[in-house]
Amino acid sequence: MAKPKPDAARRMTPLAQIMTDMIEADGPMPVDRFFALALGHREHGYYMGRDPFGRAGDFITAPEVSQMFGELIGIWCAAGWQMMDAPAEWNLIELGPGRGTLLADALRACSVMPGLRDSMTVHLVEMSPELRKMQGDTLKRAGVEPVWHDRLEDVPDAPSLIIANEFFDALPVRQIQKQAGRWHERVVGLGEADVLTFGLTAEPVPDALVPVWASGAEDGAIAELSPAREAAAKEIGRRITQHIGAALIIDYGHTHSGTGDTLQAIARQQFADVLARPGEADITSHVDFEALAGAVGTQGAKVYGPVTQGEFLVKMGLREREEMLRKRADARARIRLSKGAQRLVAGNQMGQLFKVLVATHPDMPKPAPFNVASDAPA
């Protein structure tokens, strides 16, 4: 009689099966490989065949919480375009645009600036065919025809404003862990009943890989490194220094580098086991803004912040915008506006954990909101 399959194996996702086969063939895979496959596997990757956003989805991002988020970014773009001296041709680039909501709201707000839209080409960096379709539909309604790319490197060079909201947290991280005084790579292998399980490589990693900030850590500590995030940040820095330009990077994470395991999975708006259902849960990790700022700045770009999302939005005029919209809103819409604003800026919601980094060409004047006096009410 055939042995009954263990429960966990029976409920394996198609991607978990593929990963299991890979591990059986090649041995345990580093965490960044697991992360990249879980999100971007051509057929079964989390982003490749679904719309994960919104109330019915797995998670809600700021542009889906309130139209004001994208509108204030539109105001940032209008100010940025003027600070670039209103180039006759320029690129508005968004990395990981989701449903296209942020850009549609931003374009509505910045279109009041004469000449801005006529001189602009919209470039989207997006790996998901499903989301590309949604972005196309959303932007068509906004009267824009974007050009899509797999990678930022493929976007033609020109004066650029670059926006990335919750893009960096989706780029893979490596993890190393200290054990008996040496750092080892954290890997995903097969445990009992062939269930995906974390482990460590037997050989320690080369000393040169261990960041200075991690060198004094205790045994058991985990440090996260992200060559993928640093490469994307460097490419942003290169673009805005070779041509005039500025970038706005928003994500959740920490201001200073430090040890800690921040790898997480989210499904249906709840935290889930990272290894349990690859391809069916969103996998992310917190963004190390110190590493990001360093990478953006390597090419000579000026880096500002990070500041908290709450501070950024209030300085960009959230309260004034809310007041304006309230005047034309009915009772239900007013409640939605104030709930949305609260969710975006409150310290116990998105206001504190989310950070905002701005970088510009070194010759550009101080960008918004860093040109607003720091004692402005937050």
In the complex, minimum distance from the CB of residue 366 to ligand SAH, in angstroms, rounded to a whole number: 25
Neighbours of 56 (CB within 10 A): 8
In the complex, minimum distance from the CB of residue 82 to ligand SAH, in angstroms, rounded to a whole number: 24
In the complex, minimum distance from the CB of residue 334 to ligand SAH, in angstroms, rounded to a whole number: 24
In the complex, minimum distance from the CB of residue 129 to ligand SAH, in angstroms, rounded to a whole number: 10
Residue closer to ligand SAH by CB (options 5, 151) is 151
Strand partners for 73: none
DSSP codes of every residue in 3-58: PPPPHHHHT--HHHHHHHHHHHHH--EEHHHHHHHHHH-TTT-TTTS---BSTTSS
Rounded Cα distance, 17 and 25, in Å: 12
Q: List % helix, strand, coil for the chain (3-state, nearest 5).
A: 40, 25, 40
Rounded Cα distance, 149 and 153, in Å: 9
Torsion over CA: 151, 152, 158, 164 (sign): positive
In the complex, minimum distance from the CB of residue 285 to ligand SAH, in angstroms, rounded to a whole number: 13
In the complex, minimum distance from the CB of residue 125 to ligand SAH, in angstroms, rounded to a whole number: 5
Residue closer to ligand SAH by CB (options 5, 133) is 133
Count, residues in the chain: 378
Residue closer to ligand SAH by CB (options 57, 260) is 57
Residue closer to ligand SAH by CB (options 217, 357) is 357
Residue closer to ligand SAH by CB (options 156, 191) is 156
Binding residues (CB under 6 A) for ligand SAH: these are: 39-40, 47, 53, 61, 63-64, 96-98, 102, 125-128, 131, 165-167, 170-171
Residue closer to ligand SAH by CB (options 53, 289) is 53
Residue nearest to ligand SAH (CB): 96
In the complex, minimum distance from the CB of residue 150 to ligand SAH, in angstroms, rounded to a whole number: 7
Residue closer to ligand SAH by CB (options 47, 183) is 47
* Residues contacting 92, CB < 8 A, separation 6+: 77, 103, 120, 121, 122, 123, 160, 161, 163
Query: DSSP strand E in 154-228: where?
Result: 160-165, 174-179, 182-190, 196-204, 222-225
Characterize the bridge pairing of strands 90-95 and 120-125.
Answer: parallel
